[in-house]
Amino acid sequence: MNKLVIFDLDGTLLNTIADLAEGVNHTLGTHELPQHTIDEYTLMVGNGMRKLVIRALPQELADNDSFVDSMLAEFLEYYADHIDVHTKPYPGIPELINALSTAGYQLAVASNKIQAGAEKLIEKFFPGIPFVSVMGNSPLYPLKPDAAVVEYIMQKAGTDRAHTVMVGDSGTDIQTARNAGIPIIAVSWGFRPRHELTSADYIADSTAALESFLFESV
């Protein structure tokens, strides 16, 4: 049975934080609301776009569902057109993905990013790679850390838990893997501090370390 590696997207394969920050700040700015630094946004991402917008808003506005809906729509419209201005793969990631694919690994993405955005970025930065599935925020499945999206990917790949591993950069990814009953490799180059990753099965501090672990252990 072919081995399956399920990757998170933002903070794992791609450094997307500058475009996310710019998109939310643009939306906040049009309403003359306080904006945030990129470092602040690293602690706001990971639980979907709506939660990102809520976290960026002043508390009194974050509790207003109709206002959140409006801001989310404005942000998504802007972000769709500016999703890849600053975004780029982390060093060594394209080479790793190519090596895994060439070696016969099945590859997939499980992200809380909007579906169209996830697909656009994967197509741009990993052209020709036959991902089994690229899953973003879908009305059919709850967001991570719910394991439903991982279960779907495993079913589509025709594999089982014993032949599947997840790679991510956050506690959300770790909990997703735990909920799915599969091992999790955390990468320390993403959006969360290393001390938040200690419950992972393994922490990779470089792409070379991640590659070595995947080829030796998965």
Q: Which residue of the set 8, 10, 169, 173 is catalytic?
A: 8
Token reading at 95: 């080479």
180 Cβ partners below 8 Å, 6+ apart? 147, 150, 151, 154, 161, 164, 166
CB 19 within 8 A of CB 82: yes
User: How far apart, in Å, are the Cα atoms of 47 and each of 38, 137, 218?
Assistant: 17, 10, 27
**Annotated catalytic residue 8:** yes
199 Cβ partners below 8 Å, 6+ apart? 171, 174
Cα gap 20→52, rounded to integer Å: 9
> What residues act catalytically?
8
